[in-house]
Structure 1
Amino acid sequence: MEISNFMRDEHRMCDESFAKAEQAVNNGDFKEAFEHFEKFMIDTLKHFDKEEEILFPRFEEVTGNTEGPTKVMCYEHNQVRGLLEQLKDAIDKEDKERFFSVADTIMILLQQHNMKEEQMLYAMCDRVLAPQASELVEKMKAL
């Protein structure tokens, strides 16, 4: 399996959970919203861990590039982590307006972030890590 396909599929899975959380908040069902949001948050953070602990270090090792795209992606991961806490707080307080304000911000950030990963970084990983792709995907699945 190509790295890009595996990682892109994870992006889509996270997007679906987030859309369900937004729909539940829109319907005023904060209990259901929390369940979907919690899945989104856990899956997103696990995805970041797979990148930061497995994929990015191997990419940096093979390319010798530690100041390029992986550094930018990690910076954006940290921005998302902060926004996740704000979203959780908005759900906990059943604050629909605050939730959608932060949701708009996180969705714009994630859409841009995912696009950069999917169109550039993952394609580079597929090229430079091709001989190790299956091994890396298995390690990420196991994390």
Structure 2
Amino acid sequence: MNTISELMTHDHRDCDGIFARAEELASDGDWADAAEALKKFADALNAHFDAEESTLFPAFEQATGMTQGPTMVMRHEHQNMRDTLAALQYALDKQDADDFAGEAETLLIMMQQHNMKEESVIYPMLDSRLPGDEQERLSASVGKHLGEARAA
């Protein structure tokens, strides 16, 4: 059985790889392929956020009783990253390499800090607080959601 930590940390790394490809293509001035890669990244990132917000965070809140704590902060950070992603898309649409690089750097820092919090707090608490069968159910549901999003 994959733990929630393993599943979601792996998905963080997948998203990072897709993002790096979009950055590389934009840096090379390959705007058409950069646009395709950025769309793929946006889809993956939004699927990841959706899985957390609709499935994992409610499970965390139920298991811990904390509804105004870590998950509230994570949801707020998700929105900030969505806003930065929109600015990144705008820079790509303008084919502005400098703006794209700046927004990409901002988003990368935000993702690194955010992922560290999830990987060191949220996911381990889910792994330790949920019964094994609930972990398996959540992992299967989230894994299916993420897989479907990648296949679309």
Report the TM-score when normalising by structure 1: 0.97
Task: Identify unmatched segments of 5+ residues in structure 2.
Answer: 146-152
Distance 1:35 1:67 in 2: 37
1:6 equivalent in structure 2: 7
Greater mean alpha carbon deviation, residues 21-30 or residues 128-137? 128-137
- Does residue 135 (structure 1) correspond to residue 137 (structure 2)? The answer is yes
- Does residue 87 (structure 1) correspond to residue 82 (structure 2)? The answer is no
1:98 equivalent in structure 2: 99
Task: Identify unmatched segments of 5+ residues in structure 1.
Answer: none
Distance 1:112 1:141 in 2: 23
1:41 equivalent in structure 2: 42
Q: Cα RMSD between the aligned structures? A: 0.9
AA matched with 1:36? A
For residues 80-123 of structure 1, the C-alpha deviation after alignment (integer angstroms, 9 at most, x for no partner) is: 01011111111111010000111111111100000111112111
Aligned length: 143
For residues 35-67 of structure 1, the C-alpha deviation after alignment (integer angstroms, 9 at most, x for no partner) is: 111111100000000000000001101211101
Distance 2:125 2:143 in 1: 20
Distance 2:20 2:111 in 1: 13
Q: CA deviation at 1:142?
A: 2.8
Distance 2:63 2:17 in 1: 33
Contact 2:7 2:143 in 1 (8 A): no
Distance 1:50 1:22 in 2: 25
Query: Which secondary structure does the structure 2 equivalent of 1:98 belong to?
Result: helix
